[in-house]
Structure 1
Amino acid sequence: MGPAAGAEEGRVTVVGLTPGERLLLWAGLPALGIVLGFLLPPVADGATGLPWAPLEGPLELIASWEGPWVAAALAGTGLLLGAGLAFLAVLTCLRITLTDDRIRLDKDGRTRTLRREDVAAVFLDGKRLVVLAPDTRELLREEPEGGAEALAAAFAAHGYPWRDGGDPYAEHFRRWVPGAPEAPAGVNALLKARESALRKKSRQDAEELREEVQKLGAVVRDGSGHRQYWRPLIPS
């Protein structure tokens, strides 16, 4: 998506999809679905008989569908599918609402609120927005909409400690290897289970295990492949 929207009303700033991006999703995807549905039979007819075309039988069946009611039904199905995709796209984009004393986070139909006094640092780690607590545990690690400049301006406008240089504790991270003797008790087992979740691409399990690792006094972040890096909580 394009730059994040920073719609400020009084002392409230909203960072997320711009109105233009929302319009593109809500209007563009259903319209594309209508066109694809309407064109499905003639496209299938044109593909029938091509030596490289897969599933020749289903293509012939689709190509045989004729009549205005069939075209209307396919276009309607495309409309519904496009609207569904637009809904999912908007729902899964992170929306950040900032005030001087609260950060509200809306994503996947869920809402979280962080208090200003619980925020010690805000920065980008690659494409992820990270919020640290005073004890250096991560309160948030999510991919936001927009670029660093828009995010920095929005957080700074409300007095949050934005770090242009990134993670102030980056040098404390070390690569995790199974059985690392310096890891806090129990962390090795959790990171081993989390490595398995990453290999299985089980995002929800990986995030739940990240939270469990933090409860034991360590912070984890991901590197390339299935590499995991961890650091202990840093006392103030």
Structure 2
Amino acid sequence: MAAICPRMSQLLRDLLAGNADHAAAFRDRFDSVQNSQTPDAVTVCCSDSRVLQDHMWGNSEPGHLFTCSNIGNRVIQQTASGEAVSGDVLYPIEHTMTETAIVVGHTGCGAVTATYDDLTDGLDEPAGIEHCLGVLKPHLEPALEHLPEDIERAAAINRLVEYNVDRQVEFLRDSDDVPDAVDVFGVVYDFQDVYGGQRGEVHVINVDGETDVDALRAAHPDIDSRINRLWEY
């Protein structure tokens, strides 16, 4: 019988204690969603531990957001017949009447960084990670020729974060499986002081394929201060 790691045992105890607090606070919040769900939006986030997926929206209501996560906030999956919208993203659109999709990138994204490194220098990653990078690579590679030659590495990565969000939004909008009635937004979660706001702010960079900041601010004056881009390529 395997021995229990004392540190892991304590960590699990701490997590369970936190869950007990959660269960006490949320006990009555599941009454209306115990048997079905009709989430208002599906969000596709990077699974980075620094990206607080529901908390970033101030969400504490079960049933409000259908939250998906993976490295690189990908909406694309490889199938036997080619690329398709990932099933976890498509499920709420297809089955729970969800008509808003939000692709959430973040500053300093490790998946985008690894993809950039793989494209420029090559990486030797385990097969599972290589598969994920392989989904991103063909969509990010065209961006490399647009980067300034003298750009610093961190700045290049954060521009590619935007480029990746744009490509994921584009893939959703172009898919025959996603109805035209579905609104698709692209945003970046910033905890590195890149966009000049507060740490943890979400910045809108793409609305249904529109990426021009002036046009977006004119169309959405109520959130104009939250519409920002680092890069208009």
How high is the TM-score relative to the length of structure 1? 0.25
Give the structure with the larger strand fraction.
1
Which one has a bigger Cα radius of gyration? 1
